[in-house]
Amino acid sequence: MEKTWRWFGKKDKITLDMLRQIGVEGIVTALHDVPNGEIWTEEAINDLKTYIESYGLRWSVVESLPVCEAIKYAGPEREQLIENYKVSLANLGKCGVKTVCYNFMPVIDWIRTDLQHPWADGTSSLYFDRVRFAYFDLRILGREGAEKDYSAEELVKVAELDKTITEAEKDDLIDTIIVKTQGFVNGNIKEGDKNPVNIFKKLLALYKGIDRDMLRENMRYFLSAIMPVCEEYGVNMCVHPDDPPFQVLGLPRIVTNEADIAWFLNAVDNPHNGLTFCAGSLSAGEHNDTRELAKKFAKRTHFVHLRSTAAMPGGNFIESSHLTGRGHLIDLIRIFEKENPGLPMRVDHGRMMLGDEDKGYNPGYSFHGRMLALAQVEGMMAVVQDEINN
């Protein structure tokens, strides 16, 4: 597997020189300065690609070329946005950048309620607390009909939390759920936006009446439209699973389990239509066994995120170390090295440690924690390679 690292461009505090020194081979990045829906030009792509290569690295994966909301909910501007997307894909292919990770999650990209949940050893990691998320949904967002999505026991716990939660904690929930974890990825809501809750409500309203079947059809429509370009230029599209892999905020989620993955691969049965196998996102759902999913879908996987989560009582989950949790990473490495060797993989998230929380990196992304994870994964890969050789 190719060792890659998510890098957020020339302004990233983690430099390419640092990444080269710790053994990274490929870079996972995007044209973060280009507004969603606009065309990525050959000039801009080549400029960044040349810059990466000047450090002895390669631009291995685009993460991501965002799929605009209007494509997902089939807005009136969908056709033009898809045409722009096709031009950007063609330009990437012409420039030799051939793997594109994207997602088809409505409105919200990934959800956590705590970006620095403490561990006993002094490290911290991402955490999802279902009751606190329900509190955000019911008491802060005030989503109509939200009560139906939670159990009677959860509703009681929300009422109890309402008696003790502070205004600062409420603000932190808003900042964590709909600002910090979203703004640097999809740009729907940015740091400094006034009334982010109102902006978020308007985004949710765009999906009123859009159910699971309709979102699936919109995904099929999008993939069918872009596959001819992918075939012509040899570009592999690989969708990221929903994170977390279950329904939230009344929105349909369509990449959550084995049946979902099989559906979109079969709906547009083309080798360029594939999966980003994110072990962390998939393992956050107790219904998923990452090892079985890897065995089933290895041949249609174009990119791997090696991270792991631990499920906890009450529907909570936490980002675990890369050697523990439900990700089963060493087993995944065995499977992918056997079934689809050479895939780009990146270690993801892990724990904040050794002062990472003071470095000002993007939310959820450590340097030292990921560097440790990269070393651990290298060790796993060496063990697997010895097994293969012997």
Catalytic option among 278, 302, 322, 328: 278
| Residue 378: both structure tokens together | 């290298």
Q: Which of 347, 384, 305, 316 is nearest to 129 (CA)?
A: 316
- Per DSSP bridges, beta strands 26-29 and 2-6 are parallel
Closest by Cα among 382, 348, 344, 362 to 58: 344
Residue type, 161: L
Contacts 24+ apart (CB under 8 A), 83-89: 84/37, 84/38, 84/39, 85/226, 86/225, 86/226, 86/229, 87/39, 88/39, 88/40, 89/65, 89/226, 89/229, 89/230, 89/233, 89/235
Q: Which of 117, 272, 328, 349 is catalytic?
A: 349
- The answer to whether residues 337 and 302 touch, using CB atoms and an 8 Å cutoff, is no
Question: Catalytic: which of 117, 240, 272, 322?
Answer: 240
> What is the number of other CB atoms lying within 10 angstroms of the CB of residue 360?
7
Catalytic residue among 129, 137, 260, 348: 348
Helices (DSSP H) in the chain: which residue ranges?
A: 16-21, 42-53, 69-72, 78-94, 130-135, 152-164, 167-174, 181-183, 196-205, 212-233, 258-267, 279-283, 290-297, 329-339, 368-389
Under the phi-then-psi rule, with left for phi > 0, alpha for psi from -120 to 50, and beta for the rest, what region is 318?
A: beta
Pick from 123, 115, 4: which is nearest to 62 by CA? 4
Identified catalytic residue from 127, 150, 233, 365:
365
Q: How far apart are CA 42 and CA 249, in angstroms?
A: 38
Of the residues 305, 322, 328, 356, only one is catalytic, namely 305
**Cβ-contact 3, 374 below 8 angstroms:** yes
Active site residue 322: no
Active site residue 368: no
Handedness of CA 126, 130, 135, 137 (dihedral sign): positive
Q: Which of 257, 262, 261 minimizes the C-alpha distance to 247? A: 257
Q: Is 365 a catalytic residue?
A: yes
Q: Name the 3-class secondary structure at 28.
A: strand
Do 349 and 126 meet the contact criterion of CB atoms below 8 Å apart?
yes
In the 8-state DSSP scheme, what is residue 299? G
In the residue annotation, 278 being an active-site residue is answered as: yes
- 361 labelled catalytic: no
Q: Active-site residue numbers?
A: 240, 278, 305, 348-349, 365
